Homo-oligomer: A and B are copies of this chain.
Protein backbone atom coordinates (compact mmCIF):
# COMPACT_ATOMS: atom_id res chain seq x y z
CA UNK A 1 0.00 0.00 0.00
CA UNK A 2 1.10 3.57 -0.72
CA UNK A 3 1.98 5.76 2.23
CA UNK A 4 -0.64 8.31 1.21
CA UNK A 5 -3.35 5.63 1.09
CA UNK A 6 -2.11 4.15 4.36
CA UNK A 7 -2.36 7.51 6.08
CA UNK A 8 -5.94 7.94 4.93
CA UNK A 9 -6.76 4.44 6.11
CA UNK A 10 -5.25 5.12 9.51
CA UNK A 11 -7.20 8.35 9.88
CA UNK A 12 -10.40 6.61 8.88
CA UNK A 13 -9.86 3.66 11.23
CA UNK A 14 -9.01 5.91 14.16
CA UNK A 15 -12.08 8.05 13.47
CA UNK A 16 -14.29 4.98 13.31
CA UNK A 17 -12.94 3.55 16.56
CA UNK A 18 -13.41 6.90 18.24
CA UNK A 19 -16.99 7.28 17.14
CA UNK A 20 -17.79 3.74 18.29
CA UNK A 21 -16.50 4.68 21.72
CA UNK A 22 -18.36 7.96 22.05
CA UNK A 23 -15.62 10.27 20.80
CA UNK A 24 -16.44 12.75 18.05
CA UNK A 25 -15.24 11.21 14.80
CA UNK A 26 -13.62 14.42 13.57
CA UNK A 27 -11.74 14.86 16.82
CA UNK A 28 -10.33 11.36 16.50
CA UNK A 29 -9.40 12.03 12.87
CA UNK A 30 -7.60 15.27 13.65
CA UNK A 31 -5.75 13.45 16.40
CA UNK A 32 -4.84 10.67 13.98
CA UNK A 33 -3.59 13.19 11.43
CA UNK A 34 -1.36 14.90 13.97
CA UNK A 35 -0.11 11.55 15.27
CA UNK A 36 1.37 10.74 11.90
CA UNK A 37 2.66 14.25 11.17
CA UNK A 38 6.35 14.70 11.96
CA UNK A 39 5.90 18.46 12.07
CA UNK A 40 3.28 20.61 13.75
CA UNK A 41 0.42 21.61 11.43
CA UNK A 42 -1.55 24.80 11.01
CA UNK A 43 -5.34 25.03 11.19
CA UNK A 44 -5.31 25.62 7.44
CA UNK A 45 -3.38 22.41 6.77
CA UNK A 46 -5.70 20.39 8.97
CA UNK A 47 -8.78 21.87 7.28
CA UNK A 48 -7.37 20.93 3.89
CA UNK A 49 -6.21 17.45 4.86
CA UNK A 50 -9.58 16.47 6.32
CA UNK A 51 -11.92 18.71 4.33
CA UNK A 52 -13.43 20.34 7.37
CA UNK A 53 -14.44 23.92 8.06
CA UNK A 54 -12.44 26.45 10.00
CA UNK A 55 -15.00 26.47 12.79
CA UNK A 56 -14.93 22.74 13.12
CA UNK A 57 -11.15 22.61 13.06
CA UNK A 58 -10.90 25.31 15.68
CA UNK A 59 -13.34 23.68 18.10
CA UNK A 60 -11.87 20.24 17.59
CA UNK A 61 -8.33 21.47 18.23
CA UNK A 62 -9.50 23.20 21.37
CA UNK A 63 -11.09 19.96 22.56
CA UNK A 64 -7.92 17.98 21.84
CA UNK A 65 -5.95 20.47 23.89
CA UNK A 66 -8.56 20.04 26.64
CA UNK A 67 -7.94 16.29 26.52
CA UNK A 68 -4.23 16.95 26.90
CA UNK A 69 -3.42 15.20 23.63
CA UNK A 70 -2.02 18.07 21.56
CA UNK A 71 -0.43 21.44 22.15
CA UNK A 72 -0.13 24.77 20.41
CA UNK A 73 3.22 25.82 19.05
CA UNK A 74 4.46 29.12 17.69
CA UNK A 75 7.14 29.62 15.12
CA UNK A 76 9.43 32.64 15.35
CA UNK A 77 8.27 35.45 13.07
CA UNK A 78 4.94 33.77 12.27
CA UNK A 79 1.53 34.85 13.44
CA UNK A 80 -0.29 31.61 12.93
CA UNK A 81 -0.54 28.79 15.41
CA UNK A 82 0.79 25.30 14.90
CA UNK A 83 -0.54 22.14 16.49
CA UNK A 84 1.57 19.23 17.58
CA UNK A 85 0.57 15.88 19.05
CA UNK A 86 2.39 14.00 21.75
CA UNK A 87 3.46 10.80 19.98
CA UNK A 88 4.09 8.74 23.10
CA UNK A 89 1.35 6.14 22.91
CA UNK A 90 1.53 5.26 26.59
CA UNK A 91 1.11 8.93 27.47
CA UNK A 92 -1.86 9.08 25.13
CA UNK A 93 -3.46 6.02 26.69
CA UNK A 94 -2.96 7.39 30.19
CA UNK A 95 -4.29 10.78 29.20
CA UNK A 96 -7.42 9.30 27.66
CA UNK A 97 -7.89 7.01 30.66
CA UNK A 98 -7.48 9.94 33.01
CA UNK A 99 -10.02 12.11 31.22
CA UNK A 100 -12.64 9.41 30.74
CA UNK A 101 -12.25 8.35 34.35
CA UNK A 102 -12.82 11.92 35.47
CA UNK A 103 -15.58 12.81 33.02
CA UNK A 104 -17.58 9.58 32.90
CA UNK A 105 -16.54 6.99 35.45
CA UNK A 106 -16.33 9.14 38.54
CA UNK A 107 -19.77 10.77 38.12
CA UNK A 108 -21.40 7.35 37.81
CA UNK A 109 -19.39 6.06 40.77
CA UNK A 110 -20.76 8.93 42.79
CA UNK A 111 -24.33 7.99 41.88
CA UNK A 112 -23.67 4.32 42.62
CA UNK A 113 -22.34 5.17 46.06
CA UNK A 114 -25.38 7.27 46.75
CA UNK A 115 -27.67 4.46 45.58
CA UNK A 116 -25.82 1.97 47.80
CA UNK A 117 -27.09 3.82 50.83
CA UNK A 118 -30.78 3.45 49.99
CA UNK A 119 -32.42 1.42 52.71
CA UNK A 120 -35.47 -0.78 52.48
CA UNK A 121 -37.19 -3.98 53.46
CA UNK A 122 -34.80 -6.92 53.18
CA UNK A 123 -37.81 -9.16 52.56
CA UNK A 124 -38.79 -7.17 49.48
CA UNK A 125 -37.43 -8.85 46.33
CA UNK A 126 -37.53 -5.52 44.49
CA UNK A 127 -35.28 -3.98 47.10
CA UNK A 128 -33.00 -7.00 47.38
CA UNK A 129 -32.43 -7.19 43.64
CA UNK A 130 -31.83 -3.47 43.35
CA UNK A 131 -29.38 -3.49 46.20
CA UNK A 132 -27.46 -6.50 44.93
CA UNK A 133 -27.07 -5.19 41.40
CA UNK A 134 -26.07 -1.71 42.53
CA UNK A 135 -23.58 -3.03 45.07
CA UNK A 136 -22.04 -5.51 42.67
CA UNK A 137 -21.66 -2.90 39.95
CA UNK A 138 -20.21 -0.54 42.51
CA UNK A 139 -17.61 -3.09 43.55
CA UNK A 140 -16.59 -3.72 39.97
CA UNK A 141 -16.40 0.00 39.29
CA UNK A 142 -14.15 0.48 42.31
CA UNK A 143 -11.78 -2.20 41.04
CA UNK A 144 -11.71 -0.62 37.60
CA UNK A 145 -11.07 2.73 39.20
CA UNK A 146 -8.18 1.37 41.26
CA UNK A 147 -6.65 -0.29 38.23
CA UNK A 148 -6.87 2.92 36.23
CA UNK A 149 -5.39 4.84 39.12
CA UNK A 150 -2.41 2.51 39.07
CA UNK A 151 -2.10 2.75 35.33
CA UNK A 152 -2.04 6.53 35.45
CA UNK A 153 1.03 6.50 37.65
CA UNK A 154 2.72 3.57 35.96
CA UNK A 155 5.58 3.19 33.59
CA UNK A 156 4.48 1.32 30.48
CA UNK A 157 6.86 -1.62 30.61
CA UNK A 158 6.25 -2.14 34.31
CA UNK A 159 2.48 -2.04 33.85
CA UNK A 160 2.26 -4.56 31.02
CA UNK A 161 5.09 -6.61 32.46
CA UNK A 162 3.21 -6.98 35.73
CA UNK A 163 -0.10 -7.76 34.14
CA UNK A 164 1.06 -10.16 31.48
CA UNK A 165 3.46 -11.96 33.81
CA UNK A 166 0.66 -12.80 36.20
CA UNK A 167 -1.66 -13.80 33.40
CA UNK A 168 1.12 -15.64 31.62
> Which among B35, B104, B108, B167 is the interface contact of A162 at CB below 8 angstroms?
B167
In Å, the complex CA distance between A84 and B50 comes to 46
In Å, the complex CA distance between A9 and B110 comes to 12
16 contacts between A and B (CB under 8 A): A1-B114, A1-B117, A3-B118, A6-B115, A9-B111, A13-B111, A17-B104, A21-B22, A36-B130, A36-B133, A87-B132, A87-B136, A89-B136, A89-B140, A147-B163, A163-B163
A-B CB proximity, top 8 nearest:
A38-B125, A89-B136, A38-B129, A150-B167, A22-B22, A13-B111, A36-B130, A6-B118
Interface, chain A (partner B; CB < 8 A):
1-3, 6-7, 9-10, 13-14, 16-17, 19-22, 35-39, 87, 89-90, 93, 103-104, 108, 111-112, 114-115, 117-118, 120, 124-130, 132-134, 136-137, 139-140, 143, 146-147, 150, 160, 162-164, 166-167
Other than A1-B114, A17-B104, A36-B129, give 7 A-B pairs with Cβ distance below 8 A.
A3-B120, A9-B111, A38-B129, A87-B136, A90-B140, A162-B167, A166-B166
Residues of B near A36 (CB, < 8 A) are 126, 129-130, 133-134
Are A87's CB and B133's CB within 8 A? yes
Are A130's CB and B17's CB within 8 A? no
**Could you tell me the distance in whole angstroms from the C-beta of A108 to the nearest C-beta in chain B?**
5
